[in-house]
Amino acid sequence: MTPAPLADLTTLRLGGPPARYVETATEADLVAAVRAADEAGEPLLVLGGGSNLVVPDEGFPGVVVRDTRRELVVEGDASTCGGASIRVAAGTPWEDVVDRAVDEGWVGVEALTGIPGSTGATPVQNVGAYGQEVAGVVSTVRVWDREQARVRTLAAAELGFGYRTSVLKRSLREPDGGPSRWAPTPRFVVLDVGFQMRLGTLSAPIAYPELAGLLDVPVGARAPLVEVRAAVRRLRARKGMLLDPDDHDTWSAGSFFTNPVVPVELADTLPDDAPRYPVRSPVPETTTGPSLGAIDPGLVKTSAAWLIERAGFGRGYGLPGPVGISTKHTLALTNRGDGTTAELLALARRVRDGVRERFGVTLEPEPVLVGVSL
């Protein structure tokens, strides 16, 4: 039987069929499928929620392996250790983890609600939103190391977290920037993720001004976990960043471009009203959360959305058409129902090149590009 197109498994709803498709329900089956593909020299794509992928129209010339496990285990007695130590199977939907954390009073992921995809993808990207990053709560990641053909446990200090990156993600690239032999799946296939969270009913300090404003608290204050989760979901819904099968503004890969982190010297050439944010270490100086890590004085983060809009690509750019910028958020490139990956990439190149010509800043794509490039 011919495998279904990857459009059925991705939030962009784009992409042709793989040569072969496998679903795994146990860790042993996942490792066996990955190992078999590598031993056969077969291209491999390990798929989670499909929310961060751009797949070519012609499909994928290898095996797609989808981890279907859903498991969250609490390790130890939180009441005696002063915190929650949990281990989550990679295939578990991320939203399940956030909801369980808020319900149980585990602090540190409440602002990461509404992010589609699987738990295994979160440390790869160092997923973050509204002032939180998973780097602040990840303790360990168990992986299948494809190079060494063995299971390994990587501690947080070994994961090399940075803004939307990690050692796991960087294994997709060679030192010269070209794709590694492991791509489009990292050398390290995530099996499960360990999280360490403190207990409480109040959130980590609110570091994102827009969220603080909606909660009516000052930046740096705390708010009830349930209120933070609800406020973030309202913000994401306004921006078309909550999946809705009836809303084509949500047929996207989320933010298509990362917010640029640039040297101070380049930031100084931007217009005075360009947003400028401190670049902080993802490792907290205290237990207050990743957003309050040490500031790097040589770097500045600016807003990709601001650059895109000022370069002439506003909300709804390209519409009516098969693809276009979301009518709610300029960072989302959307499929309007009959688009193609080729058309989406052409739009992305147009936006990237326009920003570079206007401001000298080269935007980098956030999704994993499978067999395609900008």
Do 85 and 48 lie in one domain? The reply is no
Residue 364 to residue 275: CA distance in whole angstroms: 18
Q: Give the CATH number, domain containing residue 43.
A: 3.30.43.10
Q: What stretches of the chain adopt beta strand conformation (E)? A: 18-24, 44-47, 53-54, 60-67, 72-74, 83-89, 106-107, 128-129, 132-133, 138-145, 150-155, 188-199, 261-263, 277-284, 293-301, 323-325, 333-335, 368-369
Residue 75 annotated among the catalytic residues of the structure: no
User: Going residue by residue through the chain (374 aa), what tens digit of pLDDT does each one get?
Assistant: 568 899 999 999 999 999 999 999 999 999 999 999 999 999 999 998 999 999 999 999 999 999 999 999 999 765 556 789 999 999 999 999 999 999 999 999 999 999 999 999 999 999 999 999 999 999 999 999 999 999 999 999 999 998 889 999 999 999 888 889 999 999 999 999 999 999 999 999 999 999 999 999 999 999 999 999 999 999 999 999 999 999 999 999 999 999 999 999 999 999 999 999 888 765 554 443 444 567 888 999 999 999 999 999 999 999 999 999 999 999 999 999 999 999 999 999 999 999 999 999 999 999 999 999 98
Residue with tokens 């959130």, as numbered in its chain: 203
Do 165 and 95 lie in one domain? The reply is yes
Do 192 and 262 lie in one domain? The reply is no
Q: Is residue 223 part of a domain?
A: no
Do 31 and 83 lie in one domain? The reply is no
Q: What is the pLDDT of residue 63?
A: 97
Catalytic annotation, pick one of 69, 146, 164, 310:
164
Do 303 and 347 lie in one domain? The reply is yes
Q: What is the pTM of this model?
A: 0.90
Residue 255 annotated among the catalytic residues of the structure: yes
Residue 127 to residue 124: CA distance in whole angstroms: 8
Q: Is residue 141 part of a domain?
A: yes
Contacts 24+ apart (CB under 8 A), 285-290: 287/198, 288/204, 288/205, 289/108, 289/131, 289/132, 289/136, 289/204, 289/205, 289/207, 290/128, 290/132, 290/133, 290/135, 290/136
Amino acid of residue 10: T
Q: Is residue 21 part of a domain?
A: yes
Q: Is residue 36 part of a domain?
A: yes
Q: What is the pLDDT of residue 82?
A: 72
Residue 271 to residue 261: CA distance in whole angstroms: 16
Q: Give the CATH number, domain containing residue 76.
A: 3.30.465.10
Residue 287 to residue 166: CA distance in whole angstroms: 21
Q: Where does a domain end: 137, 166, 199?
A: 199
Q: Where does a domain end: 20, 41, 67?
A: 67
Give the CA distances from residue 363 to residues 28, 83, 357, 369, in Å, rounded to whole numbers and listed in that order: 39, 39, 11, 14
DSSP states along 58-107: T-EEEEEEEE----EEE-S-HHHHSEEEEEEETTSBHHHHHHHHHHHTEE
Sign of the CA dihedral with 40 first, then 46, 50, and 52 last: negative
Do 252 and 351 lie in one domain? The reply is yes
Residue 245 to residue 313: CA distance in whole angstroms: 25
Residue 180 DSSP label: P
Do 78 and 49 lie in one domain? The reply is no
Q: Where does a domain end: 67, 87, 102?
A: 67
Order of strands across the sheet with 277-284? 261-263, 293-301, 277-284
Q: Is residue 237 part of a domain?
A: no
Please count the structural domains in the chain: 3
Nearest to 7 by CA among 16, 338, 44, 46: 16
CA gyration radius for the chain? Answer: 20
- Can you give the residue range of the structural domain that contains 166? 72-199
Q: What is the pLDDT of residue 289?
A: 43
Q: Give the CATH number, domain containing residue 325.
A: 3.90.78.10
Do 78 and 28 lie in one domain? The reply is no
Q: Is residue 116 part of a domain?
A: yes
Give the CA distances from residue 256 to residues 135, 224, 279, 325, in Å, rounded to whole numbers and listed in that order: 21, 31, 20, 10
Do 20 and 117 lie in one domain? The reply is no
Do 38 and 141 lie in one domain? The reply is no
> Coil, strand, or helix at residue 233?
helix
Q: What angle do CA 330, 333, 338 make, to 5 degrees?
A: 140
Q: What is the pLDDT of residue 288?
A: 37
Catalytic annotation, pick one of 51, 171, 255, 291:
255
